[in-house]
């Protein structure tokens, strides 16, 4: 999506479609056929869906029957949370308790709210990581029979800062307390290892468009022995776990994109080095702040800002110069909202409204990184320091 005059630096919102994904999706669309039909065209579509399922399962260390295709990351996160809550609630006398990190994306947070169960918030630290000690202490004394099964919802990587969360440790603590762990890996997929066994997760939600696949397709991985209740009913597709005719073209494109992005995992250190170099340049502006920089992070994402330089003004200044980035968690309808993540990290409210996110990936060039630094530094240097403004 970048060319000689524009620089697309918003991969965390959506990554450009990979050529492999486009080709696979077009091929699937040309094929036609409903994968539930038993005639020849249907069987071909079914084969494509199942091959794609196998590829996605292999990429995340799951078995094919553990993969449920959805309409994207939001549906996967909703289904994960509500599917776990409803299944646990129907099997036990006490309702489950959801432990949700303060950093979760609304796809998880709003679903937890809708579930109507007790929700305990896992606080975040200034580093951008959750306060794991808090979770460990609460779960160590947890009596699941008396207080309800704990369902821990923890994202693998944050969508604003890219900070990677201690999912394995949280999963061990949840399991020791008789609970389960639900992981939103939408941002992490293709950018760090996402593996059911390594993470110790019971559920993993992923999305196609963040890895260069088509938008509107995702998957929920549900470990074989994890409690799960479906939420969408009809034709019984996805082994009854999610009714609805599969998005064959989307699924084929998603699988092709994930195969390509997983091949690039070893090369991501280069992307991280370019991101670090960019942050080094931004810091030449004395008041620039980079959020989450001291924690382990995804390689292609940076969240930064400068007090007194409103996020919307920064985004516009960059956009005028053809550089496309996001303000806050700009997942929804162009709204610029105050960042929930930075708020949870305890960042000063005046600075929260001045944070933007630039994110990079498979097609990013050195020119993209340089354009962010050049344009931002020029614009930021035009903003007078606070002390001068006050004078």
Binding site residues, ligand PLP, CB under 6 A = 72-74, 77, 105, 107, 155, 159, 184, 186-187, 207, 209, 218, 331
User: What is the number of the residue whose Cβ is closest to ligand PLP?
Assistant: 73
Task: Say how many C-beta atoms besides its own lie within 10 A of residue 247's C-beta.
Answer: 22
CA 320/CA 164 separation, integer angstroms = 32
Q: How far is the CB of 243 from ligand PLP (least distance, A)?
A: 19
Of 167 and 177, which CB lies nearer to ligand PLP in the complex structure?
167
Of 62 and 186, which CB lies nearer to ligand PLP in the complex structure?
186
Of 183 and 373, which CB lies nearer to ligand PLP in the complex structure?
183
Active site residue 331: yes
Q: How far is the CB of 337 from ligand PLP (least distance, A)?
A: 13
Q: How far is the CB of 125 from ligand PLP (least distance, A)?
A: 19
Q: How far is the CB of 43 from ligand PLP (least distance, A)?
A: 29
Can you give the three-state secondary structure of the chain, one letter per residue? CCCCCCEECECCCCCCCCHHHHHHHHHHHHHCCCCCCCCHHHHHHHHHHHHHHHHHHHHCCCCHHHEEEECCHHHHHHHHHHHHHHHHHHHCCCCCEEEEECCCCHHHHHHHHHHCCEEEEECECCCCCECHHHHHHHHHCCCHHHHCCEEEECCCECCCCCEECCHHHHHHHHHHCCCEEEEECCCCECCECCCHHHHCCCEEEEECHHHCCCCCCEEEEECCCCCCCCCCCCCCCHHHCCCCCCCHHHHHHHHHHHHHHHHCHHHHHHHHHHHHHHHHHHCCCCCCEEECCCCCECCCEEEEECCCCCHHHHHHHHHHCCEECEECCCCCCCCCCCCHHHHHCCCCHHHHCCEEEEECCCCCCHHHHHHHHHHHHHHHHHCCCHHHHHC
What are the two backbone dihedrals, phi and then psi, of residue 338, each rounded to the nearest 5 degrees?
-65, 140
Q: How far is the CB of 10 from ligand PLP (least distance, A)?
A: 11
CA 297/CA 305 separation, integer angstroms = 17
Q: How far is the CB of 78 from ligand PLP (least distance, A)?
A: 9
Among residues 121, 148, 117, 145, the alpha carbon closest in space to that of 135 is found at 121
Of 77 and 380, which CB lies nearer to ligand PLP in the complex structure?
77
Of 182 and 373, which CB lies nearer to ligand PLP in the complex structure?
182
Per the structure block, which two tokens stand in for 148? Answer: 């309800």
Q: How far is the CB of 71 from ligand PLP (least distance, A)?
A: 8
What are the two backbone dihedrals, phi and then psi, of residue 249, each rounded to the nearest 5 degrees?
-65, -40
Of 311 and 321, which CB lies nearer to ligand PLP in the complex structure?
311
- Annotated catalytic residue, options 9, 77, 331, 354: 331
Q: How far is the CB of 171 from ligand PLP (least distance, A)?
A: 18
CA 345/CA 104 separation, integer angstroms = 12
Of 285 and 302, which CB lies nearer to ligand PLP in the complex structure?
302
Of 72 and 190, which CB lies nearer to ligand PLP in the complex structure?
72
Residues assigned a catalytic role: 331
């Amino acid at each position: 999506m970048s060319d000689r005059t524009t620089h697309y630096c918003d991969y965390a919102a959506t990554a450009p479609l990979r050529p492999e994904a486009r080709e696979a999706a077009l091929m699937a669309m040309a094929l036609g056929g409903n994968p539930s039909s038993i005639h020849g065209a249907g069987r071909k579509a079914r084969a494509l869906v199942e091959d794609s399922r196998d590829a996605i399962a292999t990429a995340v260390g799951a078995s094919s029957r553990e993969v449920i295709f959805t309409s994207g990351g939001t549906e996967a996160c909703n289904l994960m949370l509500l599917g776990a809550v409803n299944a646990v609630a129907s099997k036990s006398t006490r309702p489950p308790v959801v432990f949700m990190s303060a950093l979760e994306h609304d796809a998880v947070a709003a679903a937890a709210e809708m579930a109507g169960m007790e929700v305990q918030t896992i606080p975040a630290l200034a580093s951008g990581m959750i306060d794991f000690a808090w979770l460990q202490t609460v779960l160590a004394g947890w009596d699941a029979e008396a207080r309800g099964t704990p369902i821990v919802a923890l994202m693998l990587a944050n969508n604003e800062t890219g900070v990677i969360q201690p999912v394995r440790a949280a999963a061990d603590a949840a399991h020791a307390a008789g609970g389960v762990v639900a992981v939103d890996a939408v941002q992490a997929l293709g950018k760090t290892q996402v593996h059911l066994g390594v993470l110790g997760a019971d559920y993993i939600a992923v999305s196609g468009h963040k890895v260069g696949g088509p938008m509107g397709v995702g998957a929920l991985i549900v470990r074989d022995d994890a409690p799960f209740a479906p939420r969408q009913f009809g034709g019984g597709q996805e082994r009854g776990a999610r009714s609805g005719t599969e998005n064959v073209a989307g699924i084929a494109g998603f699988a092709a994109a994930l195969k390509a992005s997983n091949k690039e995992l070893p090369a991501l250190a280069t992307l991280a080095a370019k991101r670090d170099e960019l942050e080094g340049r931004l810091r030449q502006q004395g008041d620039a702040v980079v959020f989450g920089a001291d924690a382990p992070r995804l390689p292609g994402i940076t969240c930064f800002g400068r007090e007194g330089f409103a996020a919307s003004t920064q985004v516009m200044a960059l956009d005028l110069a053809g550089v496309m980035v996001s303000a806050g968690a700009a997942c929804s309808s162009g709204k610029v909202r105050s960042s929930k993540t930075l708020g949870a990290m305890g960042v000063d409210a005046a600075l929260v409204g001045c944070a933007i996110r630039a994110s990079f990936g498979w097609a990013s060039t050195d020119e993209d990184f340089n354009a962010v630094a050049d344009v931002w530094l020029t614009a930021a240097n035009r903003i007078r320091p606070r002390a001068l403004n006050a004078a």
